[in-house]
Every structure is written in structure tokens, then in C-alpha cells.
A and B are shown apart, each in its own frame.
Chain A
Amino acid sequence: MTTSALPSPLPRVSLGALVERFGLLILVIAMIVLFSALPSSGPAFRSVLNVQTLVANQGVGLVVAIALLFPLAAGYFDFSVGAVASAACLVTAACTATFGLPLWLGITLALAFGVGVGAGLGWMVAYLEVNPFISTLGAATLLGGAIFAYTGGLQITSGIPRELTAIGSGRVGGVPTIALAAALIALVAWWLMSRTVFGRRLYAVGANPRATQLLGVDVRRIQFLSFVASGTVAALGGVLLLARQGAATSDSGMTMLFPALTAVLLGTIVIHVGRPSVPGTIIGLLFVAVLVSGLTLVGAPAWVGQVFNGAALLIAVAFARLARARGRAARR
């Protein structure tokens, strides 16, 4: 019909754009090189044990962060993920250690618990149109209270099945088993979010729910499912937490929420700016983990980690905002 040349499918990839898209990854690599080379931290940082610990310690955090991704892609914050993970950890421990149920049943019940909480929150947010900030924060507080009521502030330490703790501390070919488990969950989540129609709809709902509805999509169902996915993955995170710690704490799980939030939001400034993604979250998580580990080995005081988490969160949000504004300004 027209003879005009076809525009190229991708824009010319400039160095600047590349740095912008992968800047955080480059920074992570630079930090790894730096901390490995510094005389004060190098030997310890480079050691196999440190690398294994670093990776194993991020397993639970990664899964909890992934739980946050689904609702966030659909445009909602879910503040309940930490509490759901903590509660699922307790459910598994109570079922197996206290009531002597087999491990598979304990895990199944923990997952069912996660699905249930996710479905309840999803129903409230999608169908009753309750503000997700309030409902998820409310659920988190409620679960925290329930955990405290059940445990009375004490940990469940004895009777945790060996098979489970083996996952938390074992290794397969030198790689911590828990990291492999987390990687498997991440892979499935990545596939769901970027290689399925469901995933594309998730982002579409987050970007413009009304337009998505007019594409013939059941928007409420997508929103509902995003919370179900969140609850399920958070519960998996709880099972891994029990495997890693070998004990169920009476913690409300809020301490897990903010590192997860930081990782996810840092992840929105890589690859596709402004869009939460699994690869971005992994890079975000590594960024914080490497920096905090490196700084600790260099001898920085303990408060550095927390200060750094908060600063990274603010920088990530501001950067994503600016990048988005610039993308829009490209319009004449």
C-alpha cells in the first residue's frame, strides 16, 4: 500500500540508553569487583563461604519480594506479604512440630493458608473496592497479632522436620539448596509475568484498568488473581523461612516487608523503567545484599544497612518517577 520504509522494530540502542536500562546491574558488578579487590574486605568477601551465605540469605527475601510483584504489576501495594510469610512459617511449624502432621501436609496447609489470605484480600480489593493500602496493612496487623497470640512470643524450635531444615542449610553442588528453590520460584514467576497472557494483562490492568476492561478482559478477576498469587508465593516464602531458620519466630513479618519493597522498587529502574519485574527484583536484591555485606566486611557500623535500605528505596522511587516523566516529555 504505502512505500515508506518500515521503521526498525527496535530503536537504535545508544550507549546512554543501555546504561540507563542496566545501570543498576553494572553498579552491582562494579561493587562486587570493588569489595573483592579492597584489601580490608577482599579475602573475606571473595571466600566461597561468604558467597554461599550471601546467596542463601537472599532466598527467602527474593520469594517475599516476588510475592509483592504480582499486585504491584496490577497497580496495588500489598503490605501483607511479610505477615503472610511469617504466618505460613508458623502454620508449617505448628502442623508438623506441634500436631505431628507429615511435612507434605504441613506445607500444603501453609500454602492453602496463603491462598486463602490472598483470595480474601483480592476479593476485598477487586470486588468490594476496598483501598488496598488499608486492607493489606490491616491484614498484616491482624496476622501479626494472631501470631503473637498463638506463640505467646515464644519460638517453636523443636520438632521441625529434618527434610525441611536440610533445604535451608544444604547444598547441591556447592550451591545452597534454598537459593535453588528460590530461583525455581523466580523462574515460574518470571514466566507467568512476562510469557503469558495473564502476565500481560496484569501490567495492562496496572497501566490502565479502564482500557483493559474495554479490551474484553475481566479486570476484577485479574486483580483478584494477583492477590491470590501474592498470598501463595508469600506462603512459599514462609515455608522457606522455616527451612532456613529451623524455627518459627513470633515475629510479625513486617521486617521482611521493607527489604522486599526496596528490591522490587529498585527493580523498576532497570530493564523496563517503571515496570516491576522478576529480573529487576533480583538485581535490586543483589544490589542491597552486596553493598550491605561489603560494607559490613569493610567495618561499617550495623546501622548502615538500615539507612542504606531506606535511601535506596527513596532513590529508586525518585529515579523511576523522573525517567517516566522524561519518557513522556519526548512527546513534542
Chain B
Amino acid sequence: MKNPAIPDVPSRIVPRGDHLPDEPGTERLVRAAREGVPGAAEDLWSSQAPRLIRAAIALGVPMEEAEDVVQESLLSAFRNFGRFDGSRAPFEVWTHRILVSRTSNWHRARRRLRLALSRLAGEDRPAAELRPDEALAAAEAKRTLHRLTAGLSSIRRRVWVLTQISGLPVREVAEALGLREETVRSHLRHARLALERAAKEKS
């Protein structure tokens, strides 16, 4: 039962329909998927995908590639389901850990690809088909995101994204990234300061 005296945390972007890390619904789905209950794996997939999309975008994957990166991450999670140990961390931590790894691989591959394509004209991948107003909003959002997060180191960006965009608790972010909790808090503090500075400079 929700206590009305405890306000929602406004800093977390968790739209309606998403599962919080400690929400028992995910655990139920994980158990059902493990037991092979029809539809459970699909439901579990659908419960993870939207949040992973946001995390991928916040981690710097362009919107044109985010769907592929998240798809690969989820496929990897389901292929290696036997390795998931729910007693160590919730399923969200497992999927985010895979996403962070895939995103890192993606950035490396992109650097290599850029080198290979540097001699060719029109390196940019064609944008997804958007309406003009959507394309405008996307372009502005990309600029903002790039401008404000460009100064963040990759580890601080990961910490900030997993705690503030994906809403994972510090303890689980530490587990996902293989860091100590104090280190996560320190990175988070510095990331916030850097983002605030960048926002002030922008305004």
C-alpha cells in the first residue's frame, strides 16, 4: 500500500507501466519465464525494453541505433538466462549490465566504422522516418543531450544514467558496474555538478 505521506521522487523518469527494480511483478515474470510459462518471456521483455531504450539514449547511443542495441541486449539476456542469479541482484540490474556492455561495444565499433568511412561522403546513417515536427524536436533534443553530457566521463555518465534515468538504487548500480557504493555516490555527485554547470552555461 502506498503511503501518501511519502512523495514520489520526481528525479526518476519512470513512466506508468514500467517496473521498478524492487517491484515483485518482475520477479514473478522472471520465475514464470524460467518455468516456461507461455507469454511470460514476452511480457518480461516488454517490461524491460522501454527503460533500456531511455538508458541507451542517455548513454549516448543515437536514437536511430537505440532499438538495435536494446534488442541485442535483451536477446543476450534471454539466451543467457541460466546465468542470471536473482539472489545477487534483480533482473533489471542484469539487463542494465548487459546494456552498458553492449553500449560500450557499440561505441568502440562506431569509432572503428568512422575511421573506415572517413573517406566516404555522407557518413551519417539516414535518420528514421519522422514527421517534420518530430524531426525538429529530435534534432533539438540531440543537440541538448550532446551539449550537456559531453563533459561527463563515461563512468560518471553510466552512473548518472543508471541511477537517474533508469532509477536503479545505488547498491544495484554498484553491482551492475562492479564499483563500490561510495564510488558510485561520488561519481553521481560529480556528474550532477557537471550537468548543472553545463545547463547554466547553456542558459
A and B physically associate:
no
Interface residue ranges, B against A (CB under 8 Å):
none
